[in-house]
Structure 1
Amino acid sequence: MSLVLVADDEPAVLEVLSQVVEDLGHDVLRARDGEEALGLARARRPQLVVTDHMMPRLSGVELCRRLRQEALLKDVPIILLSAVLPQGAPEASAFLHKPFEITDFESVIRQSLAAAPRPEPVDVGSPVEVLGQWVAQTLQGPLDAARAQLKQLESVPTADRATLASLDAQLQAMEALGRNLKDVARLAAGGVALQPVEADLAQHLLGAVTAWRAHAPVTLVASTEPVSVRFDPERIRQVFDVLLANAVKQDGGRGEVTVELQASRSLVTVQVKDRGPGFPEEEVPRLFAPFQTGSAGAAGLGFYVASELARLHGGALSAVSRPGQGSTFSLLLPRGG
Structure 2
Amino acid sequence: MPLSAPVRESLVLVVDDQPGNVQLLGQILSGAGYEVMPATSGEQALARAQARRPDLVLLDMLMPGIDGFEVCRRLKLDAQLVEVPVVFLTAATEREFLVRAFELGAVDYITKPFVPEELLARVRTHINLKRAKEHLRLIAREREDVTAIVAHDLKNPISNIRFAAQMLRRPGLGAERQASLIDDIVSCCDEAIEFVQRFLQRRATIERVRSLELAAVALAPLIDRAIARQQAAAEARGVQVMRSGVELSAQADAAALRNVLQNLLSNAIRYAPRDSLIEVHLDADRPGYARVFVMDRGPGIAETERTKLFQRFARIAQTSTDADETLSTGLGLAIAKDDIEQMGGYLWFEPRPGGGSVFAFELLLA
* TM-score normalised according to structure 2 size: 0.42
More helix by share: 2
Structure with greater Cα Rg: 2
